[in-house]
Amino acid sequence: MRHYSTSETIDTVVIGTGAGGAPLLARLAAAGLKVVALEAGKHWNPATDFATDEKSQEKLFWNDERLSAGNDPLPFGSNNSGTGVGGSTLHYTAYTPRAQPDDLRLRTDFGVGEDWPFGFDQLEPYYDEVEQFLGVSGPAPYPWGPTRKRAYALGPLPINGAGQLMERGCKKLGIKTSAAANAALSAGYYQEGVGHRPACANRGFCQAGCTIGAKASMDVTYIPLAVHHGAEIRPESFVTQLVQDAAGRIREVIYIRNGQEERQRCRFVFLCAGTIETARLLLLNDLANSSGQIGRNLMAHTGLQIWGEFDDDVRPYKGIPGALISEDTHRPEKADFAGGYLLQSIGVMPLTYISQMARARGLWGQELKRAALAYNHVAGINILGDCLPYKHNYLELADEKDVRGLPKPRIYFSNGDNEKRMTDHADKIMRAIWDAAGAKNVWAFPRNAHVIGTCRMGNDPTKAVVNAEGQSFDIPNLFISDNSTFPSALSVNPALTIMALSLRTADRFLMSERVKKRKSGPQHE
Amino acid sequence: MHVYYPEGTVRALLATDQVTEATRQVLLERLTAPPQSPKFFSATEFVLLQTICNRLIPQEPGDAQIDIAGGIDKRLSQNESDGWRYDVMPPDGDTYKLGLTGVDETAQLLFKQPFQQLSDDQQDEVLMNIQRAVAPGQTWEHLPAGRFFEELLVEATHIYYSHPLAQEVIGYVGMADVPTWQRIGLNELEGREPQSTEAGGSELGKPSLLHAPWLL
């Protein structure tokens, strides 16, 4: 790996190495830029550092305490956070459906929420590129959305017990299902600059870290590609300050490494720390907030799960957890809400299942032990649905300080009427599916997943933090690339879109730099 | 659906080459960790916490004990967080100390005795009142009782079911992470996955504890 000196002025510092930072890092490095990625967490070697044990894998979560407020306080840690080279992709489920074109124009279609400042045509080529590069496994044809120009890189992964049960129930109800698209390999895969990755072992542990590189987390895909092209990854570097010059441009990034403060001079900064930490860093530094919108427009997908027990032996720890999908509920007929959702079968690791059962059902004593004993016979379905922005949902800095002495973020979240109506709709459908499939002891785990928003992208500098290129309206050499910029939450899991947007942001940046260079003539730089 | 799984499956697996070194290490460490005296809680608080945990997740006196209260004490003494907390709650350490005071206060108000002097049923009634956020006591004016109960229950559950012995009881063998899993459909089992026995069947059918030399 190349190393740059902190006294050298490099081209770009990228803060964060998850789905927002890693693809862009590789793109900028490939274009010949001198790039350094600062990552708060460690650079793991999954083969030796990761155990098949949920508790010890909690090291992949962002465990600095966040304060969850509102009527539906959002859990963090295992949900909605990540740390380490690869960010939260280290423990994402690798569910990679594309957004549909109408997801990007919620306001046009429903008069609520926000449109994206560009259309699906701007994302589609990047979806295709990311899917091919990661080796996404999926069906051909895929039954929903615009016709794909190219099939998924690999055929679908095998369907596990939960997927079979959902298929069984949906068939009886006339709901169309399909093998889902997952960024985990159904066969060995080779990519230039990355090397060979093996097929998925069906270990079912995506949410606690893949040990063999079959799942396309960033540390085994875009990060090695970036390093191949000359990028430096600086792990365990926690960014605290962005320093401006007299003209207001960021000229230096200050971070803590090994307990020492270090500084990196640079020409551009790409902030890719995720919805919470991106907004928090900007608020801490009082930067890029002339709109007053940083921390606002916070959204979180509706994510209700319905669990049931079956006579069949399910063994829910096997296979890709999200094996089956239906997007028949993308824009349901006669719906009393804006937007829509997808349905997903879910396998589950034991600790996750039993802990959330204790939380949601409040079971304890012998009752809890009896319910836990049914673990091998449980299967779940969950939804992933759109969420509107509301004034009452936002992030602020609390007075309380964390271990580093920095204010903790406080996140307010309450589902609005739209989310409640959507969740009710989904609750009925999922219970009907499980009834048809023969489930007993059905129970609901209400939740919201994927925190989104806080640094909205848009065309109006009074209502958005960055423009359609991800560039700050206030600070021209500051860019944001992560789920904080999403103008709307979308009705699909966000990771694929974050990656696609990351590549688009890099390409638009490189294009505008080339244009500037051409205009200023060869004598400059 | 009341089922039994054979005893000793996880312990037997850990002695084979079907488990990676990283996995074996963390599970054996948890399996053999000796109980520690409390560092965060006082001795009195700790005994009270143990009593409560044993109502939340009862363990039979004859069984190998999974040290739930010790796990909570360890986390708090190391000032570790799971990444978030309810904004209505004080910091975790304060929550636990206050909550324990509240449990005894409610016990006194309902039964005129400290929690530990109560019968199992009375203890359960105290806890039920706290869970439903209807427990009497001034403590609960400062600490939301329902949330306190929820957080305690989830942490206790988390610690208990992360233990290899508890995972054995529910028939989980996902830690066998060297071989791939090929039989993943409904009712398809790999050779290393234990078969269950329906409850109500003969107790004689329950296989005996497999030899586990590291426990000796």
Chain segment A310-361, per-residue pLDDT in tens: 999 999 999 999 999 999 999 999 999 999 999 999 999 999 999 999 999 9
Percent of chain B with pLDDT over 90: 85
Q: CA angle, corner A480, sides to A256 and A4, nearest 5?
A: 45
Structural tokens at position A1: 């790996």
Q: Tell me if A61 and B83 make a contact (CB, 8 A cut-off).
A: yes
pLDDT at B2: 66
How much is the mean pLDDT over chain B? 91
* Contact across the interface for A355 and B161, Cβ inside 8 Å: yes
pLDDT of residue B53: 98
Mutate to test the interface with A, among B92, B159, B186, B192 (most CBs of A within 10 A): B186
Query: Measured between beta carbons, which residues in chain A are less than 8 angstroms from residue B153?
Result: 358-359, 362, 364
Helix (H, G, I), strand (E, B) or coil at A265: strand
Q: Do B20 and A51 touch (CB under 8 A)?
A: yes
Asked if B111 has any chain A CB less than 8 Å from its own CB, the reply is no
First to last CA, chain A: 26
pLDDT band at residue A516 using 50, 70 and 90 as cut-offs: confident
What is the per-residue pLDDT for A517? 85
pLDDT band for position B212 (cuts 50, 70, 90):
very low
Q: Is the pLDDT of residue A72 over 70?
A: yes
What's the DSSP call for residue A442? E
* Per-chain mean pLDDT for chain A: 97
User: Tens of pLDDT along A272-325?
Assistant: 999 999 999 999 999 999 999 999 999 999 999 999 999 999 999 999 999 999
A68 and B20: CB-CB below 8 Å? no
How far B208 CA lies from chain A's nearest CA (Å)?
19
| Chain A residue closest in CA terms to B5 | A373
Confidence of residue B199 (pLDDT cuts 50, 70, 90): low
Q: Which of B27, B153, B193 sits opposite A358 (nearest CB)?
A: B153
pLDDT in tens, A455-506: 999 999 999 999 999 999 999 999 999 999 999 999 999 999 999 999 999 9
* Contact across the interface for A376 and B172, Cβ inside 8 Å: yes
Q: Do A73 and B86 touch (CB under 8 A)?
A: yes
Average pLDDT over residues A130-157: 97
- Between CA A217 and CA A206 the distance in angstroms is 10
Residues of A in contact with B162 (CB under 8 A): 53-55, 351
Please state the rounded mean pLDDT for residues A402-426. 97
**Domain residue extents for chain A:** 10-520
A71-83 burial, b at 16+ Cβ within 10 Å, e below that, comes to ebbbbbbbbbbbb
Closest CA to B192 of B32, B10, B37, B35: B10
Number of domains present in the structure of chain B = 1
Of the options 3.40.190.170, 3.40.50.300, 1.10.10.60, 3.50.50.60, the CATH number for the domain spanning A10-520: 3.50.50.60
Name the closest residue on chain A to residue B131, using Cα atoms. Answer: A362
Contacts of B79 in chain A (CB under 8 A): 403
Task: Give the tens place of pLDDT for each residue, B16-48.
Answer: 999 999 999 999 999 999 988 999 999 999 999
Q: How far is B193 from chain A (nearest CA, A)?
A: 9
Query: Which residues 29-88 of chain B have a CB within 8 Å of chain A?
Result: 30, 55-58, 79-88
CA distance A518 to A522: 7
Cβ neighbours of residue A209 under 8 Å, at least 6 residues apart? A44, A46, A50, A57, A60, A90, A91
**Separation in Å, CA of B8 to nearest CA in chain A:** 16
- Quote the pLDDT of residue A81: 87
Q: Is B16 on the interface with A (CB under 8 A)?
A: no
User: What single-letter amino acid sits at A469?
Assistant: E
Please check whether residue B128 touches A, CB under 8 A.
no
Each residue of B145-180: b (16+ CB within 10 Å) or e? bebbbbbbbbbbbbbbbbbbbbbbbbbbbbbbbeee
Q: State pTM to two decimals.
A: 0.96
Query: B59: domain range?
Result: 3-215
With a pLDDT cut of 70, the percent of chain B lying above it is: 91
In chain A, the residue whose alpha carbon lies closest to the alpha carbon of B78 is A403
Task: Give the chain B residue nearest A49 (alpha carbons).
Answer: B22
Q: Residue B206 has what pLDDT? A: 40
Checking if the pLDDT of A121 tops 80, the result is: yes
Q: Which residues of A touch B127 (CB under 8 A)?
A: 364
Q: Say if residue A401's pLDDT is above 60.
A: yes
Dihedral sign computed on CA atoms, order B101, B105, B108, B111: negative
pLDDT tens per residue across span B43-77: 999 999 999 999 999 998 888 899 999 999 999 99
Tens of pLDDT, residues B73-127: 999 999 999 999 999 999 999 999 999 999 999 999 999 999 999 999 999 999 9
Backbone angles phi, psi at B193, to 5 degrees: -90, 125
Pairing of strands A260-271, A10-15: parallel
